[in-house]
């Protein structure tokens, strides 16, 4: 499971401050800080929101490596389905 420290590393890898990250997730900076320091737990919804935000930023910035590897694979599988590629 992801820790608060892992979440902080992922946020920093996306080049976002706690305030920017919180804004993109609909959370306050203090809530993000509490999660990152372990005061509040990292929940599945936080992980899913992080993955979705990373995918969005990868597209916005045209930097596919911002998206986690699993998300990139799923995006490629989806693209193959959309194209009608039978090998997907």
Give me the chain's average pLDDT, please: 95
What are the sequence ranges of the domains in the chain? 4-83
Q: List, for residues 75-86, the tens digit of each pLDDT value.
A: 999 999 999 986
> Is there a contact between 84 and 45 (Cβ–Cβ < 8 Å)?
no
CA distance linking residue 40 with residue 28, whole number of Å: 13
Structure tokens of 73?
């694979």
Residue 68 — φ and ψ, nearest 5°?
-60, 150
Q: Would you say how long the chain is, in residues?
A: 88
CB atoms within 10 A of CB 71: 16
User: Where does 4-83 sit in CATH, by number?
Assistant: 1.10.260.40
* pLDDT: which is higher, 8 or 1: 8
CB 68 within 8 A of CB 60: no
What is the per-residue burial (b if ≥16 Cβ within 10 Å, else e) of 51-69?
bebbbebbeeeeeeebbbe
Question: What is the per-residue pLDDT for 85?
Answer: 86
């Amino acid at each position: 499971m992801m820790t608060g420290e892992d979440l902080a590393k992922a946020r920093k890898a996306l080049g976002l401050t706690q305030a920017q990250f919180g804004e993109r997730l609909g959370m306050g900076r203090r809530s993000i800080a509490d999660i990152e320091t372990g005061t509040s737990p990292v929940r599945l919804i936080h992980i899913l929101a992080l993955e979705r935000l990373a995918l969005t930023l990868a597209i916005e910035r045209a930097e596919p490596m911002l998206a986690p590897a699993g998300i990139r694979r799923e995006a490629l599988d989806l693209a193959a389905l959309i194209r009608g590629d039978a090998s997907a």
